[in-house]
């Protein structure tokens, strides 16, 4: 009998969220439109003075001055709204109501068709966690019960590709980094970040891009969806 070169089945699998489990660009676009409609009704002086584009440009300028906001884009948006309300002479006390409106729309994501069946197929076979630099709320989205642990940069204080956020997720699941796989759409933040932290990094390449050749990153696997991910797990692991 030939010796097997398969690795042991990993104890944990971590997922990025935005653009890995659901597309985020159309959601943010809709959320900004929803927010602006709320401003027009509830803070009209802001809506008269600004547009969606000018609010976005003001946020980018604020981010350039205060790069620490990169850790929490929700906090950046809140600070941008406070400044806009003050400039327009509106009651800045309404900003939290505006943010509630925005976050409700921001979390109205629609997972890719393969995600829920894939998560169900993983249930009971492996610990599942998430690592995100964004503000997605799995509880609001309705997927929290599929995850044993979740770590987000805004609350953790460190963001991918920092090894610390991957290690925190592994610790929350009670596994060592080499016992875990991280799956994400971003080659540098997700794949290379995970690999440098001691995990295996799988590229969820839903667009069939060949960008990894340009980036010089060698993922442990490249998959287009959960079916491909599960096939890889079965093929490469005992």
Residues of the chain with pLDDT under 50: 1-3
pTM: 0.92
Angle in degrees, 0-180, between the axes of helices 73-88 and 52-65, rounded to the nearest 10: 120
The confidence score (pLDDT) of residue 5 equals: 59
Q: What is the pLDDT of residue 154?
A: 96
Is the separation of the CB atoms in 84 and 21 below 8 Å? no
Set out the domains of the chain in order of their start, with CATH numbers: 12-24+111-236 (3.40.50.1000), 25-106 (1.20.120.1600)
Radius of gyration of the chain (CA): 20
Looking at residue 209, what is its pLDDT?
A: 84
Residues 16, 130 contacting (CB under 8 angstroms): yes
CA–CA separation, 193 vs 177, rounded Å?
A: 12
Q: What is the distance between the alpha carbons of residues 73 and 59, in angstroms, rounded to a whole number?
A: 9
- pLDDT value of residue 1: 42
- Three-state DSSP string of 58-72: HHHHHHHHCHHHHHC
Name the strands in the sheet holding 149-152, side by side, starting at the edge strand that comes first in the sequence: 149-152, 127-132, 12-15, 180-184, 200-204, 221-223
Residue 195 contacts residue 26 (beta carbons within 8 Å): no
Q: How far apart are CA 230 and CA 99, in angstroms?
A: 38
Q: Is the dihedral of CA 161, 159, 126, 106 positive or negative?
A: negative
């Amino acid at each position: 009998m030939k010796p097997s070169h398969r690795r042991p089945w990993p104890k944990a699998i971590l997922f990025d969220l935005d653009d890995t489990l659901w597309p985020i660009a159309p959601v943010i676009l809709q959320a900004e439109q929803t927010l602006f409609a709320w401003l027009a009704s509830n803070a009209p002086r802001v809506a008269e003075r600004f547009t969606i584009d000018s609010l976005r440009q003001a946020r980018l300028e604020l981010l350039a001055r205060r790069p620490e906001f990169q850790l929490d884009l929700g906090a950046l948006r809140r600070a941008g709204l406070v400044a806009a309300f003050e400039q327009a002479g509106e009651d800045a006390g309404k900003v939290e109501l505006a943010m509630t409106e925005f976050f409700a729309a921001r979390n109205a994501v629609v997972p890719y068709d393969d995600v829920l069946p894939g998560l169900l197929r993983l249930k009971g076979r492996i610990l599942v966690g998430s690592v995100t630099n964004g503000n997605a709320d799995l509880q609001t989205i309705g997927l929290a019960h599929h995850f044993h642990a979740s770590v987000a940069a805004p609350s953790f204080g460190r963001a991918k590709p920092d090894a610390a956020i991957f290690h925190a997720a592994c610790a929350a699941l009670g596994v060592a980094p080499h016992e875990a796989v991280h799956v994400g759409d971003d080659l540098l933040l997700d794949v290379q970040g995970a690999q440098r932290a001691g995990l295996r990094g799988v590229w969820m390449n839903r667009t069939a891009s060949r960008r990894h050749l340009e980036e010089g990153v060698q993922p442990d696997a490249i998959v287009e969806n959960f079916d491909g991910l599960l096939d890889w797990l079965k093929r490469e692991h005992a």
